[in-house]
A and B are shown apart, each in its own frame.
Chain A
Amino acid sequence: MRIAVVVLAAGSGTRFGHTTNKVWLPLSGRRIISRSLANAVKSFPKSRNILVINPDDAALAKDVLRREARHIKVEIVAGGASRHESEHNALMHLAPAIEAGKVNVVMIHDGARPLATSVLFHDIAMAAHHHGGALPAIVVDPLEIDIHETRQIVRVQTPQAFRAKELLEAYTKADRDGFVGTDTAACMEEYFPNVQTIAVTGEVTNVKITYPQDLVIAEHVLEKRGYKE
């Protein structure tokens, strides 16, 4: 398996010297993004690692990577106005390698999820390699959504991984058609509904830092893990 790991961190950039993008926040001594990146690449010693950032954060990214992720070889790509556009830019950056067969699986991860473990990344990559696509999902009690809801509902997380050629083609077609997906799987489903996407059991601790209290939860999880992952 020849894998490329894409970590998305292209939210709003630095304004008046102040960071506004949460992925650059400190979390137990290291930036959220360097924790996401370190966990993402841990299982893949030969992966190509792409960090998608807001161009306004370029200086900050360079400094953080030098201090906290010196051991990881990272290629920086400028993100777009939406998540979909950032994914598209990363895939265009990887296109020559995908077309040459040097990358056959692409894994896309949200930089604001610093607690996804290296085991989850490994399982998702293996499932995508064997089946075509994979994503982590957590089963939700449907009654939490609506008391009349009877269907089984799952909460989808990242990392999401797909076979590289199909993924590149899906994003190329989406660009041509003006289609914007909510996540990687949505775009694949639109253009390759026959590609099997396997749901791997997600991790309850794989929270996306969204609310202030998520940072407190993440600190506690990291402490329980001995700050290892």
Chain B
Amino acid sequence: MNEEVTAELHCSHCDHETIHTLVYAGRLLVSTTCQTCNSQVKHEAIDLRLHYLKDLEHRISTKPRRLWRGFWSAPFSQMVSFPKKFMSQPKKIWKEIKAILGR
């Protein structure tokens, strides 16, 4: 997952609910930006990199279990989607790393 999503959150600067843009790298939130006043909340850069490495380690170590659970619950759709998902992993991880380093 490397994506931008929008949601209403309370902006401390505007002091009311505004639309925010949230950027994720993998499972981690990289930053949130208020679309009204542009104020940003970010993880500390070093903290985020360490956090990302730990999270990546956790994702890799739990992947076999999650894959197995997926195959168990919906075998056909998992078999169909597995090759595409597998091939897209390097690109996905690269995008996540770029999001974390390039912030």
A212 touching B20 by the CB < 8 A rule?
yes
B8 touching A22 by the CB < 8 A rule?
yes
B27 touching A26 by the CB < 8 A rule?
yes
A209 to B8, CA, bound (A): 11
B28 touching A227 by the CB < 8 A rule?
no
A11 to B12, CA, bound (A): 20
Which of A18, A29, A209, A210 is the one whose CB lies under 8 Å from B27? A29
Q: Which stretch, A102-110, A158-166, A213-221, touches the partner chain B?
A: A213-221
A216 to B24, CA, bound (A): 12
Contacts A212-B20, A219-B29, A227-B58; A21 near B8 (Cβ below 8 A): yes
B28 touching A219 by the CB < 8 A rule?
yes
B5 touching A19 by the CB < 8 A rule?
yes
B95 CB to nearest A CB, Å? 16
Which of A29, A211, A219 is the one whose CB lies under 8 Å from B9? A211
Residues of the B chain whose Cβ atoms lie less than 8 Å from the Cβ of A209: 9
**Which of chain B's residues has its CB closest to A32's CB?**
B7
State whether the Cβ of B10 lies closer than 8 Å to any Cβ in chain A: yes
A12 to B9, CA, bound (A): 11
B5 touching A212 by the CB < 8 A rule?
no
- Secondary structure at the B interface, as helix, strand, loop or mixed, is strand
The contact size tier of chain A is 20 to 34
State whether the Cβ of B85 lies closer than 8 Å to any Cβ in chain A: no
B41 touching A216 by the CB < 8 A rule?
yes
Q: Which of B1, B8, B24 has the most CB of A within 10 A?
A: B8
State whether the Cβ of A223 lies closer than 8 Å to any Cβ in chain B: yes
State whether the Cβ of A89 lies closer than 8 Å to any Cβ in chain B: no
Number of A-B residue pairs, CB cutoff 8 Å, is 60
A25 to B24, CA, bound (A): 10
Which of B1, B7, B58 is the one whose CB lies under 8 Å from A20? B7
B19 touching A20 by the CB < 8 A rule?
yes
Q: Mark A199-229, 1 if CB is under 8 A from B, else 0.
A: 0000000000111110110010001000100
B41 touching A26 by the CB < 8 A rule?
no
**Which of chain A's residues has its CB closest to B20's CB?**
A212
> Chain A: residues with CB nearer than 8 A to chain B?
11-12, 18-22, 24-26, 28-29, 70, 209-213, 215-216, 219, 223, 227
* 20 other A-B residue contacts (CB within 8 Å) besides A22-B7, A215-B22: A12-B8, A19-B5, A19-B6, A20-B19, A21-B8, A22-B9, A25-B7, A25-B22, A26-B24, A29-B1, A29-B26, A29-B59, A209-B9, A210-B10, A212-B22, A213-B41, A216-B41, A223-B51, A223-B54, A227-B58
A/B interface sample: 27 pairs, CB < 8 A: A11-B8, A12-B8, A19-B6, A20-B6, A20-B7, A21-B7, A21-B8, A22-B8, A25-B5, A26-B1, A26-B24, A26-B27, A28-B27, A28-B55, A29-B59, A70-B73, A210-B10, A211-B10, A212-B11, A212-B20, A215-B32, A216-B43, A219-B28, A219-B29, A219-B51, A223-B51, A223-B54
> Chain B: residues with CB nearer than 8 A to chain A?
1, 5-12, 19-20, 22, 24, 26-29, 32, 34, 41, 43, 51, 54-55, 58-59, 73
